[in-house]
Amino acid sequence: MKKDIISMLDVKDDLKQIIDNAIEMKKGNYEKIMKGRTMAMIFEKSSTRTRVSFEVAMEKLGGHALFLGKNDIQLGRGESIQDTAMVLSRYVDVIMYRAYSHENMKELAKHASVPVINGLDDKEHPCQVMADLMTIKEKKGRLKGLTMVYFGDGNNNMAHSLILGCAIAGMKIRIVAPRAFWPEEYYIEEARKLGGEVEVEEIGEDSAREADVVVTDTWVSMGDEAEKEERLRIFKGYTVDEKIMAQAKEDAIFMHCLPAYYGYEVTKEVAYGKQSVIFDEAENRMWAQMAIIKWLFE
Ligand code: CP
Ligand code: NVA
């Protein structure tokens, strides 16, 4: 059966291997395993990191990537996801899809005869979280037993994939979010089934206690633009600043998948401060994805 990466759950048995491979590949130890192979990359939403890192990753592995903006292909004019999947599967070896809807992501994977990689949808962002875990392992030397504290929109793709990713990696996660933006119960349940320790709370005086890793993400994800004003009002007080970082462990690192909106979810002082690893995290998208591709084609 072909492998897909739609959710962090799809890599739960091999996450450690993927992360260790990514760290190894970053040292220059990789072969051109994608020689003669092509990746189609369908984008319904904007992207800097996902687009460029996948394209360069494919080139480094000896393969080729095709950028397909939704409005450049017939999908944007109403061709079905099923037909898009069935046609692309005749030309390419793997499809990366950035979608508005997780349902559409699953539909594409169902009808594609080649592997499908989730390059972000409304529910999950697994490629980012694999790069994040790789970055934590690089910085801390381990994952098991560490505590992550995530501030802000607890109901978005990053929060959900981090909840699953931490559970798989043996890390504890605390989601600090306004009650209306707590994670979907499904992700907490799945994490707990894997033995994950998940806490969810509203912001307090010591929300970042015991944190080895402090994380945030935009308060207004792609697709949420109509709610922007309301969200900015509700999330006020959740900005990761130096006061929050001071509650965490002294050697805590700060992470953000980017793009960041400074002065909202994080201050510039923290994002560019000495605890921040955001640009290593961005770079690691490429190495983690090379390891993901290797895993799919092994
Ligand atoms: N972090 C991330 O996925 O960034 P892009 O939207 O630029 O791809
Ligand atoms: N939660 C953000 C992540 C961007 C990479 C969004 O979906 O817009």
289 pLDDT exceeds 90? yes
Q: How far is the CA of 36 from the centre of ligand 2 (A)?
A: 32
pLDDT in tens, 246-263: 999 999 999 999 999 999
What average pLDDT does this structure show over 67-78?
A: 96
Residues with CB under 6 A from ligand 2: 120, 156-158, 217-218, 221-222, 257
Q: Which of 101, 133, 132, 136 is nearest to 118 (CA)?
A: 101
Structure tokens at 238: 């959740």
Q: How far is the CA of 128 from the centre of ligand 1 (A)?
A: 8
Using 50, 70 and 90 to split pLDDT, how confident is the model at 298?
confident
pLDDT in tens, 151-169: 999 999 999 999 999 999 9
Q: Point out the ligand nearest to the CA of residue 100.
A: 2
Instruction: Set out the domains of the chain in order of their start, with CATH numbers.
Output: 8-124+285-297 (3.40.50.1370), 128-281 (3.40.50.1370)
1 pLDDT exceeds 90? no
pLDDT in tens, 42-58: 999 999 999 999 999 99
* Cβ atoms of residues 294 and 21 within 8 Å: yes
Give the end-to-end CA distance of the chain in Å, rounded to a whole number.
13
Q: How far is the CA of 282 from the centre of ligand 1 (A)?
A: 9
What average pLDDT does this structure show over 57-63?
A: 98
Q: Which of 153, 52, 161 is nearest to 102 (CA)?
A: 161
13 is catalytic: no
* Cβ atoms of residues 127 and 5 within 8 Å: yes
98 is catalytic: yes
What average pLDDT does this structure show over 55-76?
A: 97
128 is catalytic: yes
Residues 6+ away with beta carbon under 8 Å from 119 = 41, 43, 47, 50, 54, 96, 97, 98, 127
- Kindly report the backbone phi and psi dihedral angles of residue 52, in degrees, each rounded to the nearest multiple of 5, phi listed first: -70, -40
DSSP per residue over 136-180, as a string? HHHHHS--TT-EEEEES-TTSHHHHHHHHHHHHHT-EEEEE--GG
State the catalytic residue, choosing from 51, 98, 111, 174: 98
pLDDT in tens, 190-199: 999 999 999 9
What average pLDDT does this structure show over 174-202?
A: 98
23 pLDDT exceeds 90? yes
- Rounded to 5 degrees, what angle do the CA atoms 156, 187, 100 make? 40
72 pLDDT exceeds 90? yes
What predicted TM-score, i.e. pTM, was given to this entire model? 0.98
Q: Measuring from atom 2 of ligand 2, which residue has the nearest CA?
A: 221
What pLDDT does 247 receive?
Answer: 98
Question: Considering the chain, what percentage of its residues have pLDDT values greater than 90?
Answer: 99
What average pLDDT does this structure show over 88-92?
A: 98
